[in-house]
Structure 1
Amino acid sequence: MGSTSTLHFEAAVTRPLSVVFRTGEAWEGHDYTVEVVAMRRGLDGFDVVVDFRDLEAALDRSLAPLQGRLLSELGLDGPLALAQRLLAELAPFVPAPAHLKEVALTDGRGRRMVVLS
């Protein structure tokens, strides 16, 4: 088998998120599973992509002010804007040579939307 430095590895963490969107006069509550995926070529000295605890802590910090909120009050007009915001906020917390690959939102019906970096 070849060296692990030629292979790409991914690490993902997930957290629940409940938010409300307003479209016109209608209010829509959504429960999502937020998945954040980091990727790198090869593994570090501890055979990991990134420290899961650090990635989870960064995700928790980003989600805390969003939980249960009306996202239009925060300047977010839908799930795409939400995923893009999370991608931008979390990217700096993934240390090189790893990088943030994607943020995915999966709703209660299993519909999944992915934003790639």
Structure 2
Amino acid sequence: MVHASALHFEAAVTRPLSVVFRSGDRWEGHDYTVEVVTARQGLDGFDVVVDFRDLEAAMDRSLAPLQGRLLSELGLDGPLALAQRLLKELTPFVPAPARLKEVALTDGTGRRMAVQA
């Protein structure tokens, strides 16, 4: 039998996000599912990777000022910049020994783009 501490675990939290990008004189609205994936070796004392409530609260704080906004006004020029910003903002909210593995954006057609830590 393999002990849980020898196994690698991942856990993800998702939230919806609607944003607008401007490309030249063209505007693009996007509805995304933002997925934050955490990982760790073994589980904590409660048999979880991270406390979902804490991670969800951090995501909600990071996404709230972006919701429905024109992201170029916030210095973000596209989905890659958005995912990188979220990765940077959320990393401190994942306590060691867990780590933030990736932030992914999936649009309404199922196209997925991810940045990894």
Mapped to 2, the partners of 1:9 and 1:63 lie a distance apart of: 25
1:114 is aligned to 114
- Cα deviation, 1:60-79, whole Å, max 9, x if unaligned, reads 00000000000000000000
Task: Quote the RMSD (CA, aligned, Å).
Answer: 0.4
2:93 matches 1:93: yes
Name the counterpart of 1:13: 13
Gaps of 5+ in 1: none
Q: Give structure 1 regions of 4+ aligned residues with deviation exceeding 3 angstroms.
A: none
Q: Distance in 1 between matches of 2:112 and 2:6?
A: 30
Matches of 2:14 and 2:46, distance apart in 1: 22
1:47: which partner in 2? 47
Partner of residue 25, structure 2: 25
TM-superposition CA deviations, 1:10-65 (whole Å, max 9, x none): 11100000000000000000000000011000000000000000000000000000
TM-score with structure 1 setting the length: 0.99
Task: State the alpha-carbon separation in 2 of the partners of residues 2 and 32 from structure 1.
Answer: 38
Aligned length: 117
**Structure 2 length-normalised TM:** 0.99
Aligned counterparts of 1:71 and 1:89: Cα–Cα separation in 2: 16
Structure 2 residue ranges without an equivalent (≥5): none
Question: What CA distance in whole angstroms lies between the structure 2 residues aligned with 1:86 and 1:106?
Answer: 14
